[in-house]
Amino acid sequence: MRLPTAFVLGAAAFLALSATAATAAQASPARLLNLDQTVCLSATTPTGWVQTAYFDWYTCGTPGSVYYNAKSIADATGTPSGGTVTACITPPPAGFYATSFSYSFSCEMTKTPNRLFNDQHTLTNLNGRPAGSTAIICGLQSSPPGWTTTAVVQAYQCIYPRSGGLGDNAIAIRKL
């Protein structure tokens, strides 16, 4: 009788875990499992997601073009206030701002990379930051809504071209 009892208990535990995993996967697979998704390059990146790599994937067709045919994307919506996400340079999600640039072979969209420009940025989630918070964001731009510019600065982490000089290339901001 021990084998059937153990089998029944094991099967019940397996079914309970499977149901829990299925419910979790339906909720938000990328957030709960912390996984990127692979999609064809022509697919639209969903709102709140970032592109993290480019490569060839036979599901998207036969490789051969000068461009890769697939991309990895990651859900950035669960990034906490003040948290960061590293992504290939593409438009960031709402409330995320570039706080540094770097180079990554994975972010070269073409198969003939020039390696002259940084192609990856660290994005900081400024949504929900408390009053008085400060940050330095790359680029000469207007401060985000609810923030004020305190200075135009030279920030080494914000040099866009790999061999470019350091000049006024960022703004220091403070949350109102």
Indicate whether 13 and 40 sit together in one domain. no
As a whole number of angstroms, the distance between CA 127 and CA 173 comes to: 14
Q: Cα torsion for 106, 111, 117, 122, to the nearest 10°? A: -20
Q: Same structural domain for residues 20 and 42?
A: no
Ranges of beta strands (E only) in the chain are 37-40, 49-55, 70-75, 84-88, 96-102, 120-125, 134-138, 147-153, 170-175
- Determine the pLDDT at residue 115: 74
Full residue range of the structural domain in which residue 106 is found: 36-175
Q: Taking a C-beta distance cutoff of 8 angstroms, is the pair 86, 52 a contact? A: yes
The pLDDT confidence band at residue 33, using thresholds 50, 70 and 90, is very low
- pLDDT band of residue 98 (cuts 50, 70, 90) is very high
Per the structure, the count of domains in the chain is: 2
Residues in contact with 21: Cβ distance below 8 Å, sequence separation at least 6, in sequence order: none
Domain shared by 22 and 86, yes or no: no
Strands 96-102 and 120-125: antiparallel
At 105-158, the pLDDT tens digits run 999 988 887 777 889 999 999 999 999 999 999 998 999 999 999 999 999 999
Kindly state the average pLDDT of the residues 7-18.
Answer: 40
Q: With contact defined as beta carbons under 8 Å apart, do 46 and 28 qualify? A: no
Could you read off the pLDDT of 44-67 as tens digits, one per residue?
999 999 999 999 999 999 888 899
Q: How confident is the model at residue 163 (pLDDT cuts 50, 70, 90)?
A: low
Are 78 and 25 part of one and the same domain? no
Are residue 93 and residue 16 in the same domain, yes or no? no
Closest Cα partner for 121 from 141, 111, 140, 107? 107
Query: What is the mean predicted confidence (pLDDT) over 6-19?
Result: 40
